[in-house]
A and B are shown apart, each in its own frame.
Chain A
Amino acid sequence: DAGVIQSPRHEVTEMGQEVTLRCKPISGHNSLFWYRQTMMRGLELLIYFNNNVPIDDSGMPEDRFSAKMPNASFSTLKIQPSEPRDSAVYFCASSPRVNTEAFFGQGTRLTVV
């Protein structure tokens, strides 16, 4: 298995533009997580899906952020419009089931200028 696959690895965009981050979880994993990592705030959970259904999105910063999981093998995190303070590394992770180890993707480094 190739592990959790995220794309793109790096994204530089101008303020106000729409940004879409993509994630392919490990096949057979029921849980999917989106995290954001910054120096100031550490590793923050944005949203958690279980069996493709959003269970907890309380970590989503504001309405500019949205996430979808149309099927078990694909998820997106969209920021529209993007702002400089959204600059961070965004990680997607999946796990076989609740309370088991999480496998992280390589992350997407987002820079909003």
Chain B
Amino acid sequence: GQQVMQIPQYQHVQEGEDFTTYCNSSTTLSNIQWYKQRPGGHPVFLIQLVKSGEVKKQKRLTFQFGEAKKNSSLHITATQTTDVGTYFCAGPGGGSARQLTFGSGTQLTVLP
């Protein structure tokens, strides 16, 4: 079945530094979604990418979808303490069910 792998598992950065998390799928994805989960909270949808090579920006966050639609990245410029949390990518599962399958997540810590 389809697997979504994410790296790194953990990342500690100094406030103001940049941060990137990578997502790789074993199969081609029709789309990919990104979520953020604050400590003690629930996953919250950030964005969905659909097109090959697509790039989308949300303020300091830049999301990319690979040309082959098998990988994606999230880049945060000049991190702030409010960026703390775990970032998940998610893609539709294999087969006819196409349920949302989440990556393992990258836990970001921002040191003031």
> Which A residues have a C-beta under 8 Å from some C-beta of B?
33, 35, 42-43, 45, 48, 55-56, 91, 93, 95, 98-107
Contact = CB atoms under 8 A, between A and B. Distances in A.
Contacts of A100: 48
B42 to A, nearest CB: 4
Contacts of A103: 45
B43 A43 contact: yes
Contacts, number: 52
Contact of A106 (B42, B45, B101): B42
Nearest to B48: A101
Contacts of A106: 41-42
Interface string B20-63: 00000000001101010000011111001000000000000000
Contact of A45 (B88, B95, B101): B101
30 contacts: A33-B100, A35-B102, A42-B104, A43-B43, A45-B93, A45-B100, A45-B102, A48-B97, A48-B99, A56-B95, A56-B97, A56-B99, A91-B42, A91-B43, A93-B43, A95-B100, A98-B92, A99-B31, A99-B92, A99-B98, A100-B48, A101-B48, A102-B33, A102-B45, A102-B90, A102-B100, A104-B43, A104-B44, A105-B42, A106-B42
Interface residues of B, number: 23
Interface string B67-105: 000000000000000000000101011010111111011
Contact of A101 (B33, B42, B97): B33
A107 B42 contact: yes
Given A99-B31, A101-B33, A33 B43 contact: no
Contacts of B98: 98-99
A85 to B, nearest CB: 20
Given A104-B42, A106-B42, A107-B42, A43 B105 contact: yes
Contacts of A33: 99-100
